[in-house]
Amino acid sequence: MNHATGSTAGNPEAGPSPASRRAQPPNFAGNDRVLFGIVLGVLTFWLFAQTTLNIAPDMGDALGLSPTTMNIAVAITALFSGIFIVFMGGIADRVGRYRILQLGFCLSIAGSLLVALAPAGALAIPCLLAGRALQGLSAACIMPSSLALIKTYWAGAARQRAISIWSIGSWGGSGVCAIFGGMVSAQFGWRAIFFLSVVAAVAGLLMIRGTPESRAEDRRDAKVDRKGIFTFMVAMIALQVVVTQGARFGWTSVNTLLLAAVVVIFGFIFLRHEGRAADPFIDFKLFRSRIYTGATISNFMLNGVAGTLIVVMQLAQLGGKMSAQQAGVLTIGFAITIIAFIRVGEKLLQRFGARKPMLWGCALTAASVVCLAMTQLTLADYRIVATIGFALQGIGLAFYATPSTDAALSALPEDQAGAGAGIYKMASSLGGAFGVAISAAIFTAVRTHPEGGSMLEGLIQFQGAQDQVAVRSAAILALTFNLCMVVVAAISIMATIPRAKPGQPAR
């Protein structure tokens, strides 16, 4: 890695900076009890909250809510996480990373209870949406504060191991969520998932007890950038509404055009203000590091591939007449491979540096999307190909996860560990939110369009039953969007992540 980035990766003896050593108690090193407690917190979002990608139809039927409302409920958690994660990372740097981590656990408990106890009828929408928003806020607290604590209390190879285990909670949790949600929903009802989330959060909160506080002492007096937060939030919410509701409003309707104008105006105000603010909400100076920039952009794009999950789950249930549990079984390969190969990604990082495993991960993920897009096959054949596709996606993301996270963290200055980790994880959350929202929007628009069944006529010969050609065509087009995101991720890596020097891994 270019020394200008401030990286410590690749040097096992490199520890926290002098500023960090002043801020942390002596003789403390991260331990597995704290690490596994942190992972439980991460799982409350990536495993439990993300089950809605699969069980949304069941939840909607039970609560009497429309698919459009459920699409909003699915996306709002990642959206709130993405909007507030940088802010909470900056607050964690100032008031204490351990304190914000605890707050995240408490918000997770409250949000999960609201979702689990949401009644059918008039209160269904406010309870569900409020609970999902709180789950997003909890993730905004847990993700950056936990990564900042890992950067502070783990070093060298120990940090890379901690990141791998943390990644099992995030990437692994997302890999297991569909099959886990389908099985628990089928056996115990969907509400049981969110009660289990409460149990996990309480257990994690107990396991992290006694962690010494960590903060950036020279940032304690930094002001909160209220204008930056407000303008960013308005622009992101308006953009999300355009993406999710544009087809229903009409892409050239007054509502859509007004919302698009809000996105442009508030986005411009945000960018201009952040460039002038003394203590900006998003410090764009961090992007002077090409490695941090590349890791963050590729992280956004590859998380967008979460859109494949909602598309394939809806394809299987609407087009293949499968139950949520049967559809979830298609992802069993993802669940197995991402957990099995996460630590392989760590070893690849140590041997080859970050660039090669990140690119290998992109290539395998692209191959997985191609497999998932083969909806022209019969249902029996598609089950096999989709299972292989999800398995390849698990391997690809496992290869990518630890090298990318290590590259991003290593490039951060110590006094902005929380804020920088927040931006990196904001890329995860917003990438997932927009990937899911845009993929779902394309899928819904094409399958419900009168001409949806003939859009690919003459290009693809669909085998088997012909009564669901519109759904199958919609899936191909939505998944093509996901493939484009993987290609952009690979380009960003090639442009920013350096090659390894002969005989020495690049960091």
Mean pLDDT of the chain: 86
- The answer to the question of residue 469 being in a domain is yes
Average the pLDDT over 446-463 and give the result: 73
Q: Is the pLDDT score of 264 beyond 90? A: yes
- The answer to the question of residue 407 being in a domain is yes
272 and 291 both lie in a single domain: no
- The answer to the question of residue 94 being in a domain is yes
- The answer to the question of residue 292 being in a domain is yes
- The answer to the question of residue 11 being in a domain is no
330 and 463 both lie in a single domain: yes
Six-digit token string for 378? 């019969």
Six-digit token string for 228? 């930056």
Q: What is the pLDDT of residue 506?
A: 46
Tell which residue, 56, 61, 103, has the closest CA to residue 75: 56
Six-digit token string for 1? 């890695």
298 and 157 both lie in a single domain: yes
Task: Show the CA angle centred on residue 325, arms to residues 320 and 329, nearest 5°.
Answer: 80
Q: In this structure, which amino acid lies at residue 107?
A: L
- Among the residue ranges 5-9, 40-44, 335-339, 404-408, the one predicted with the least confidence is 5-9
The alpha carbon of residue 423 and the mean position of all alpha carbons in its chain are separated, in whole angstroms, by 12
* Per-residue three-class SS string for 377-404: CCHHHHHHHHHHHHHHHHHHHHHHHHHH
Q: Is the pLDDT score of 145 beyond 60? A: yes
351-390 pLDDT, tens digit each: 999 999 999 999 999 999 999 999 999 999 999 999 999 9
Last residue of a domain, one of 278, 299, 315: 278
164 and 261 both lie in a single domain: no
- The answer to the question of residue 370 being in a domain is yes
- The answer to the question of residue 260 being in a domain is yes
CB 315 within 8 A of CB 375: yes
CB 322 within 8 A of CB 316: yes
Domains in the chain: how many in total? 2
C-alpha–C-alpha distance, residues 422 and 290, integer Å: 17
265 and 254 both lie in a single domain: yes
C-alpha–C-alpha distance, residues 421 and 296, integer Å: 10
135 and 110 both lie in a single domain: yes
SS3 504: strand
375 and 318 both lie in a single domain: yes
β partners of residue 506? 353
406-449 pLDDT, tens digit each: 999 888 887 777 778 888 888 887 788 788 888 988 898 888 87
Tell which residue, 344, 293, 227, 288, has the closest CA to residue 496: 293
421 and 480 both lie in a single domain: yes
Total number of residues shown for the chain: 507
Q: What is the pLDDT of residue 75?
A: 80
Six-digit token string for 263? 């996105």
Average the pLDDT over 469-476 and give the result: 88
User: In this structure, what DSSP letter does residue 501 have?
Assistant: B
Given its phi and psi angles, is residue 274 left (phi above 0), alpha (psi -120 to 50 degrees) or beta? alpha
- The answer to the question of residue 349 being in a domain is yes
C-alpha–C-alpha distance, residues 72 and 507, integer Å: 39
273 and 328 both lie in a single domain: no
217-245 pLDDT, tens digit each: 665 566 778 888 889 889 888 887 787 67
Q: What is the CATH number of the domain that holds 98?
A: 1.20.1250.20
- Pick 42 or 338 by higher pLDDT: 42
Q: What is the pLDDT of residue 101?
A: 97
Q: Which domain holds residue 397?
A: 30-224+279-496
CB 101 within 8 A of CB 146: yes
Six-digit token string for 308? 């494949």
Q: What is the pLDDT of residue 226?
A: 83
- pLDDT above 70 covers what percent of the chain? 90
C-alpha–C-alpha distance, residues 275 and 286, integer Å: 12
Average the pLDDT over 274-285 and give the result: 82
Tell which residue, 229, 236, 219, has the closest CA to residue 280: 229
Is the pTM higher than 0.95?
no
342 and 299 both lie in a single domain: yes
255 and 142 both lie in a single domain: no
Last residue of a domain, one of 251, 278, 305: 278
149 and 254 both lie in a single domain: no
SS3 109: helix
Q: What is the pLDDT of residue 59?
A: 94
C-alpha–C-alpha distance, residues 25 and 39, integer Å: 23
* Local confidence band at 189 (pLDDT 50, 70, 90 cut-offs): very high
Q: Is the pLDDT score of 14 beyond 70? A: no
